[in-house]
Structure 1
Amino acid sequence: YTRAMQRNSAYEIAAYNLGNAFAQLGQFDEALVAYDRALAIKPDYPDALYDKALVLARLGRAKPALQAYEILLRADAANVVAWTRKGQLLEELNKFEEAVEAYKAATTANPGDADAWTGLGDSLYALERYEEAVEAYDRAIAADPTNEEAWNNKGFTFFMLGIHEEALSCYEKALAINPTYKQAWYNKGYTFHGINRLEEAVTAYEKAIELDRGDEVLWNNLGNALYNLGRYGESIPYFEQGLEVNPKYEIAWNNIGNALNKMGRHAESLKYHDKSLEIKPDFDYALYAKGHALDNLGRHEEGLELIGQSLELNPNYDHAWMAKAESLYRLGRLEEARDALNNALILNGEYEEAWVFRGKILEEMGNALEAERCYEEALQCFRASLELEPENAELHYHYALLLEDLERADEAIDAFAASSSRGHSADALIHLSALLLRVGRAADALVPADDARSRYPTDPRGWLAAGRAAAALGRTGDAERFFRKAIDIGAAPEAKRELARVLQSIGKAEEGLAVLRGIETPDAETLLLRADILRSLGR
């Protein structure tokens, strides 16, 4: 191209091609010089104006890029490509109203241009004009039924409108056209996640990750889906993968801390929340999460202070108000705790756990009638939520906890069973086993306990529950084995007491005493059991 220009300095095509060569090499300043040379020779050279505008946009020089499109449009007001590219540039500048006008001009010039209709839909979506966006995507699809981007974007717009099955259908259309379209797999996972079809969300996220292992948000969202399934330990490696992609991804650091908190490892979680806050000191969710962890460690004043800072940044986060109420309650400040719960319920009148907690506080304040109203409100909220999300294991679990507190055992048993059958964590199975045992159904209690120890073999609570059920059935050999396993993997004091009782019952009282001596800091229950065994030995 350079030789061609040397032979004929007025050869605008050579200058234009030289600009393209520089642009492909990433030498954008040199490309602009070449395009300007072409335009000096031929001021109305459309290809040079197009590509100059693209390079200017890539360099962040929006104003001269827009000026280049204006030159093209003055020469030809029906230039669809110029209107569309102008719309794209305005979108990148977050000037969505102006982008809408540019795309509308493009679609007026050519009603069959699918790209212009898709761009119009995207700008309308950004303006939260979702119904109009759907209409634009429909026009794009009518113009080109194989436009996977329009199908995908229409799907996500349906998701924002709460029309979830239609959204999923649109993603399927996009993926039928292009099975390797990562964004459609991601949006499919996100939609499943949003409607609590978490196993399906995991599958879709995994497919997206197969296509792009370098997307930290994908790794994080897959971890979140597992976390929401109660599979806290499994979620952590996925958050860590996100951090391998982007070590500055503060959300993933915080989420590891959240998972550790759920596993009861509150002290360990603090360093992850701290790392998140080191990256983003005003990260309200990390302040809340660290405060909640400190509260769980008994450091209530410190926790309350951080939760307060979180609420200063984001006063509309209902879970932070709930956490503040918990801290205040533990500090004995019941009226302030009640007021914090009022704020949570103003933000989310269907926050079931907040209604339950408010009822508990009002009971302790001596207001039984108002407490009863809170519990009834909570029950109604749970029922309404479960009508909308019948497969939500977490909802069934918390509904069961309330029913258990209200001594409605049969209903609680059904709710715990519904939660565990929908993939809730070990908590539902263990609560179900304990409740069945309490109402005298020992044989039934062994079933969820066995399920818990089978599905979660490193969780000592399943072994402990199985041991209690076996002991109640007189299967002392099994009970002894289960309790010893629970001791091996972490449930030491509680399991040692249960083991001592079993050993006493089979005539091994001395061995039971030896087990109790292994409890480093015996509590009142341990001391009473020790005294009972000694009496049985006549000592």
Structure 2
Amino acid sequence: MHLDHDEEDYNLSLSKFESMLKTNKVFFFDSEEFEEIILHYLDMGKANLAKKALKLGLEQHPKSTGLKLVQVEMLVYDDKLEIAEKMLNELYAIEPTNEEIFIQKANIYSKRDNHVKAVELLQEALKYTEDLADVYNLIGMEYLFMDNLEKAKENFKSCLEVDIEDQSALYNVVYCYEFLDQNAEAIEYLKTYIDRNPYSEIAWHQKGRLYYGLKDYVNAVRAFEYATYIDEEFMGAFMENGKALERLKRYEEAIENYQRTIDLNDPTSYALLRIGKCHEKLGNKAEALKYFNKTVHEDPLLDKGWIAITDFYVRQKNYQKALFYVNKALAIDDQNRAYWKRFATINEAMNFYEEAELGFRKAIEFGDDHLDTWLFWVDILQFLGEFDSAVMTSLQATEFFPEEYQIEYRLAGFYFMLNDTEKGTFHLSNALRLNFNNHTLIEELFPTVWTIKKVQSLIKKHYK
């Protein structure tokens, strides 16, 4: 394959410049060549080489506006805003219709968080520029900084009117619609965009994402499939399509799409996990387990992988195996609340109540904020006969769930068990006020308390 003429010239300029640096010989370049060399090094993150090229460029072309504007860009990047602004004012006096001067001034105001002024300057740049798309894009970004999503969306759409291939503008338009919770409107916009640019895999993919968000999985699949027809290596579209097909319970097709992402790239733990889940739904238990094991092998830190294997064995009521895997997971991350909760429920199923109590306690300690976890912990403490600890834990739970009848009924039961009638009465009254219909919880959890006359009297009184 032959390089086109411009690319050959560009590569020759770079080679010539690098040869000059190595040999200390001085070669002549025109100012545009220097600009391209400088921008190349900036894109590569080689700021020192860019600065060397700029210095040599200005020595050879001291009056070049283009090189001075590149210098301004580098000064702005280094936060030397006052020097950059002074240079721009000097350049403006010479070339008042140079759009790049307005763009760089806008960049300075943007860095100072004066986005309104930045927009004004960019609108001036629109009068002089030939690259309208780029300036509309910049205006859109300024409105994003101001959280004015409607104006941002309008400018990104203007950018696409000029340059339909601008992918970043397309992503930004969709982002604005989504942020404004206008998913249906975004789909309508993408339909008109696709009419103009039917082979945009990005547009089809975004359309699929929006349909997925609206739970219209049939249309999501159709859109993702178009994206993959256009680009047979569009990994993201295959992945999203797999998710949508799963929602439609088309598990074999979902597996094919996830497998395609693995064929295109190295296996990802997410794809392996989803394939395992699909196989489990299809009843292919051996295959499911194989892929769950591949998931944790690929990424031992992915908690969803360990959880998938553990839950798989729990569903089979193979608690020994489930406990083996949750212990392996805890050996890797002993501060994972999801692991500890499973450790607790598995041990409870195996009648290892002290271990179960430890698990629920650790789950809460590491941030589990679910009511059922607190209740399981309290009930285990009751089973172990640790009523004082059960009371303390229940009171701690009320800090997170201050008006929760299930906690109040438990506190009432514990206090009556501890012969503290006053506190028992207080909490039982609270519980009955919050949810009278579930007053039989006392009978279920505390059969001896249920028979106490004071308890029955309170229930009857509340019923009346």
Q: TM-score range by the shorter chain?
A: 0.5 to 0.7
Asked if structure 2 preserves the Cα contact closer than 8 Å seen for 1:56 and 1:65, the reply is yes
Note if 1:39 corresponds to 2:157. Answer: yes
Q: Which letter maps to 1:183?
A: K
- The question of whether the paired residues in 2 share the 8 Å contact of 1:137 and 1:150 is answered with yes
Deviation at 1:122, TM superposition (A): 1.3
* Residues 375-394 of structure 1 mapped to structure 2, 5 A cutoff: none
Distance 2:408 2:263 in 1: 48
Superposed CA deviations along residues 374-427 of structure 1, whole A, max 9, x for unmatched, are: xxxxxxxxxxxxxxxxxxxxxxxxxxxxxxxxxxxxxxxxxxxxxxxxxxxxxx
Structure 1 residue 53, shift from structure 2 partner: 0.6
1:276, distance to aligned residue in structure 2 (A): 6.2
Give the 5 Å matches for 1:326-337. none
Aligned to 1:121: 242
Q: Which runs of 5+ in 2 are unaligned?
A: 1-99, 107-121, 420-426, 452-464
Q: 1:83 to 1:324 in 2, by over 3 A?
A: farther
Query: Aligned residue for 2:28?
Result: none
- Equivalence for 2:277: 156
Counterparts in 2 of 1:42-81, with a 5 A limit?
A: 42-43=160-161, 44=164, 46-47=166-167, 48-81=169-202
2:322 matches 1:198: yes
1:448-468, CA deviations, whole angstroms, 9 ceiling, x for partnerless residues? xxxxxxxxxxxxxxxxxxxxx
Q: Which of 226, 233, 240 pairs up with 1:105?
A: 226
Decide which moves more: 139-148 or 80-89.
139-148
Q: Is the 8 A contact 2:137 2:159 kept in 1?
A: no
Give 1:174's match in structure 2, choosing from 287, 295, 309: 295
- The residue that corresponds to 1:265 in the other structure is 386
CA contact (8 A) 1:99 1:120 kept: yes
Deviation string, structure 1 residues 110-145 (Cα, Å, up to 9, x no partner): 454332232222123234444443343334434445
Secondary structure of the corresponding residue to residue 94 of structure 1: coil
Q: Deviations over 1:167-193 (max 9, x none)?
A: 232133334444443432332333344
Q: Give the CA deviation at 1:52.
A: 2.0
CA distance in 2, matches of 1:151, 1:282: 43
Q: 1:133 to 1:91 in 2, by over 3 A?
A: same
How do 1:41-440 residues align onto structure 2 when only pairs under 5 Å count? Answer: 41-43=159-161, 44=164, 46-47=166-167, 48-195=169-316, 196=319, 197-206=321-330, 209=333, 216-236=337-357, 238-243=359-364, 246=367, 248-265=369-386, 269=390, 290=410
| Gap change, CA 1:231 and 1:279, over 3 Å in 2 | same
Distance in 1 of aligned mates of 2:279 and 2:159: 50
Change (3 A) 1:15 1:123: same
Structure 2: how far apart are the matches of 1:160 and 1:274?
41
1:181 is aligned with what amino acid? L
Count of residues paired in the alignment: 317
Structure 1 residues 230 and 137: alpha-carbon distance in aligned structure 2, compared to 1, 3 A threshold? same
Query: How large is the Cα RMSD of the aligned pairs?
Result: 4.9
Looking at structure 1, the residues matched to 403 and 294 of structure 2 have their Cα atoms a distance apart, in angstroms, of 41
Q: Could you tell me which residue of structure 1 aligns to residue 147 of structure 2?
A: 29
Residues 38-80 of structure 1: CA deviation (Å, up to 9, x unaligned): 4325423542122221243245332333334333322233432
User: In 1, Cα distance between the equivalents of 2:299 and 2:171?
Assistant: 29
Report the Cα distance in structure 2 between the residues aligned to 1:66 and 1:53, rounded to whole angstroms: 9
Query: Aligned partner of 2:207: which letter?
Result: K
| Residue 153 (structure 1) shift | 0.9
Amino acid at match of 1:39: K
Q: Cα distance 1:182–1:105, how it changes in 2: closer, same or farther (>3 A)? A: same
CA distance in 2, matches of 1:232, 1:22: 58
Question: Aligned partners of 2:310 and 2:138: how far apart in 1?
Answer: 44
**Partner secondary structure for residue 29 of structure 1:** coil
Q: Distance in 1 between matches of 2:413 and 2:221?
A: 47
Percent identity between matched residues is 18
Paired letter, 1:202: V
Give distance in 2, aligned partners of 1:276 and 1:127: 40
Q: Would the alpha carbon gap of residues 178 and 277 (structure 1) be closer, same or farther in structure 2, given more than 3 Å must change?
A: same
Runs of 5+ consecutive residues of structure 1 not aligned to the other structure? 314-319, 332-539
* Contact 2:326 2:343 survives alignment (8 Å): yes
The 1-side partners of 2:146 and 2:282 are apart by 42
Deviations 1:322-358 (A, max 9, x none): x969969x98xxxxxxxxxxxxxxxxxxxxxxxxxxx
1:283-305 deviation digits (Å, cap 9, x = unpaired): 99x589959978x9699xx99xx
Task: Report the Cα distance in structure 2 between the residues aligned to 1:224 and 1:292, rounded to whole angstroms.
Answer: 25
Matched residue SS, 1:123: helix
Q: Give the partner amino acid of 1:54.
A: Y
Whole-angstrom distance in 2 between the partners of 1:325 and 1:289: 9
Contact 2:160-2:170 within 8 A present in 1 as well: no
> In 2, Cα distance between the equivalents of 1:228 and 1:141?
38
Structure 1 residues 430-488: Cα deviation after superposition (integer angstroms, max 9, x where no partner): xxxxxxxxxxxxxxxxxxxxxxxxxxxxxxxxxxxxxxxxxxxxxxxxxxxxxxxxxxx
- Is the contact made by 1:81 and 1:106 (CA closer than 8 Å) also made in structure 2? yes
Q: Please, what TM-score do these two structures have when normalized by structure 1?
A: 0.46
Q: Aligned AA for 2:206?
A: R
**Partner Cα separation in structure 2 for residue 46 and residue 232 of structure 1:** 61
- Greater radius of gyration (CA): 2
Give the superposition deviation at 1:151. 1.1
Give the structure 2 partner of residue 402 of structure 1: none
Q: CA distance change for structure 1 residues 291 and 157 in 2, over 3 Å: closer, same or farther?
A: farther
TM-score (norm 2): 0.52
The residue type paired with residue 124 of structure 1 is L
